[in-house]
Structure 1
C-alpha cells in the first residue's frame, strides 16, 4: 500500500524526506566498503564492481521512485528524477573530487571501459532528447522509444563492461592493492558471504528510503507549487543520488578511482534503462509524451557534463586549482549554470 503523504503538512513531509535522505547516505557510505571487499575476493576489478554492484544497488532509490510516481499518475516526476540523477551523478563526482582534493581524478583514471562508458552514456542521453522532441507511440502497452532507450542502455552497459578485456589498450593500475594471498580458501569464502549479505541488507535500506523519498517528494511538489519537473530533477534527483555521493567520496578516499567512475556511469545506465518500467506501470499513454523542452534540456545538460569529464580522461593531465581538477571545477560551474536555465525555463 502506498504511503499517503499528501495529507501531511509540508513540514512533516520535509522531515520524512530529510530522514530518508540520511538513511540513503548512511547505506551508501557503508556499501562501498563491502563492494570493494567483494571485488577483491572475486577478482571482479574496480570498474566492473563499480558498474555492476554499486551501480545497480545505488539505483534502487530511483527504481522505487519510478514505480511509485508512475503508479500514482505522475510519470513526469519519475522521469525527471532519472534525468536529474544522470546529471547530478556527474556533478557529485566533481564534488567528490573537491572534498577529497587528491588531485585531478581524471589524471589517474585510464581504463578503456571508463572511456567507452562515457561515450555511450552521452549517446543514450542524446537519444532521449531526440525521443522527447519527436514524440512516441504505444505498442503492446509500452512506448516504442521507451523500449529502445532501455535496450540501448542495457546494451551499452554490457558493451562497456567487457570492453576492458577486448581493448588493445594496456593500462597499469597502480591503485589496486596487493591482496594477502596467505588466507585460506574457507576464510575467503566466509568473508565473501558476509560481504554479500551486508551489501544486500544495505541495498534494502536504500530501496525503502528511496520509496519514502518518492512519496514525500510528490507531495512536496504539489504542496510547494514548484512542479514535478524541477522537484523531480533537483530535489528528488539530489536526494536519490546521495548514495552515489557517499560511495564516490568513500571510493576516492580508499583510492578506488576506477570504481568511482564505473559506479557513476554504471548507475546512469541502470537509471536510464528504467524508462520502460515507468511506461509499463503508468496507466496513461507513452510516458515520453508527458515530457517536453524541460526534459530535453535536462538530458543535454547531462550529456555536456559527461563530455567535460571525457575530455579530462583523454587529456590525463593533473591540472588542478586548490587540489581540484580543472575538469571537476568546470563540471560544477556547468551544472549550476544548467540548473539556473532549468529553473528559469520551469
Structure 2
C-alpha cells in the first residue's frame, strides 16, 4: 500500500508540475510579470515546486536525508536527463551546437555552489548562523551574483519556448487560478511523496539517502524531462541545456530554504555522510558538461557520444553505491 501511494503521488506530482509550467508560461506572457528575469523565476519556481514541498515535508517529519537527498539527487538526475535525451537524439549532435559563453557561467556556478555543499558535509564543524550553515549564506550571495551577471548580459539568456496557440487563448485570470490550484496539488502530493518515501525506507530497509537522492529525486525531476524533450523536438538545444542548468542552481537555493526551516541545526550536519557521494557526483557531472561546451572541435560518432555515456554510467554507479 505504501509503494502504491508513493507511485500515485509521484504521478500526480509530475502531472501537476507540467500544468504549473504551462500556466506559469501564460502568466509570464500576459501579465506585468512578463520581464525575462521574473518570468524565468516564475517558470523555474513552478518546475521546482515539487522539490521544495517534498523537502519541506521531509524536514517536518525530521528526515534531513530525504530533504537534502531530494535536492542534490534532483540536480544529478536533471543532468542524467540531459545526457540521456542527447544520447537518444545523438544523430543531431545537439551539444555541438551549444555556445560556450551561454552555458559556461551556469556550469561553473553549479560546480562552485555544489562544492560548497561538499565542503560543508565533510567539515562537520562548519560555522552556522541562526542554525543555518555558513555555506547557505555563500550560496545566496553567489546566486545573486550569477543573476546580476545574466541580467547584464542579455546574450547569455536562453530563448524561451513559446506556448502553443491553445495556450495563448487562456485568459490571465484562468491561468492564475489554475496555477494556484495545481500549486496546492503539488504541495499535497509532494508531502505524500516525502511521507511515503520515509515509510518506504523504514519498512524496506533501504537507505534514506537512496530514497531521497534517487527515488524521490527522480519523481520530482520528471517535469524537467518533459521540458528537455520538448526543447529537443523543437531543436532548441540551448533552451534544453539552459533549463536544466538553471533549474539546478534554483534547487540549490531551495536547499537554503530547507535549511532555514530545519531548526535543530544546520541541515547538512544532520545528513548521512553518504550524501557526500551524491554531491560529488553532481560536481563530476558538471565538469563533464563543462568539457562538452568547451571542446573546440565538433565531434561525431563515439567521440561525440562518450561524455553523455560517462554521465549516465556515473549516475548508475552512484545509485548502486547508495542503495
- Tell me by how many angstroms 1:130 deviates: 0.8
For residue 238 of structure 1, what is the aligned residue in structure 2? 218
Task: Specify which of 262, 273, 283 is matched with residue 242 of structure 2.
Answer: 262
* 1:254–1:204 distance in 2 versus 1, CA, 3 Å: farther
1:162-201 residue pairs with structure 2 within 5 A? 162=151, 164-165=153-154, 198-199=178-179, 201=181
Deviates more, 1:137-146 or 1:15-24: 137-146
- Tell me by how many angstroms 1:84 deviates: 0.9
For residue 272 of structure 1, what is the aligned residue in structure 2? 252
- Tell me by how many angstroms 1:296 deviates: 1.9
For residue 194 of structure 2, what is the aligned residue in structure 1? 214
* 1:32–1:91 distance in 2 versus 1, CA, 3 Å: same
- Tell me by how many angstroms 1:54 deviates: 3.4
For residue 104 of structure 1, what is the aligned residue in structure 2? 93
* 1:301–1:257 distance in 2 versus 1, CA, 3 Å: same
Q: Is the 8 A contact 1:56 1:266 kept in 2?
A: no
Deviates more, 1:274-283 or 1:77-86: 274-283
- Residue 296 of structure 1 pairs with residue 310 of structure 2: no
Taking the aligned partners of 1:242 and 1:36, their CA distance within structure 2 comes to 18
For residue 133 of structure 2, what is the aligned residue in structure 1? 143
Task: Specify which of 294, 316, 321 is matched with residue 336 of structure 1.
Answer: 316
* 1:70–1:146 distance in 2 versus 1, CA, 3 Å: same
Q: Is the 8 A contact 2:231 2:240 kept in 1?
A: yes
- Residue 81 of structure 1 pairs with residue 61 of structure 2: no
Coordinate RMSD, CA, aligned: 3.5
Give ranges in structure 1 of 5+ residues lacking alignment.
1-11, 181-186
Aligned length: 317
* 1:222–1:176 distance in 2 versus 1, CA, 3 Å: closer
Deviates more, 1:127-136 or 1:272-281: 272-281
Taking the aligned partners of 1:69 and 1:176, their CA distance within structure 2 comes to 33
- Tell me by how many angstroms 1:217 deviates: 0.8
TM-score (norm 1): 0.77
- Tell me by how many angstroms 1:87 deviates: 0.9
Taking the aligned partners of 1:34 and 1:198, their CA distance within structure 2 comes to 7
For residue 183 of structure 1, what is the aligned residue in structure 2? none
- Tell me by how many angstroms 1:44 deviates: 5.9
* 1:112–1:192 distance in 2 versus 1, CA, 3 Å: farther
Q: Give the secondary-structure state (helix, strand or coil) at the position aligned to 1:274.
A: helix
Q: Is the 8 A contact 1:41 1:192 kept in 2?
A: yes
Q: Is the 8 A contact 1:114 1:261 kept in 2?
A: yes
Taking the aligned partners of 1:321 and 1:200, their CA distance within structure 2 comes to 46
For residue 66 of structure 1, what is the aligned residue in structure 2? 55
* 1:290–1:88 distance in 2 versus 1, CA, 3 Å: same
Give ranges in structure 2 of 5+ residues lacking alignment.
none
- Residue 286 of structure 1 pairs with residue 266 of structure 2: yes
Taking the aligned partners of 1:124 and 1:18, their CA distance within structure 2 comes to 31
TM-score (norm 2): 0.82
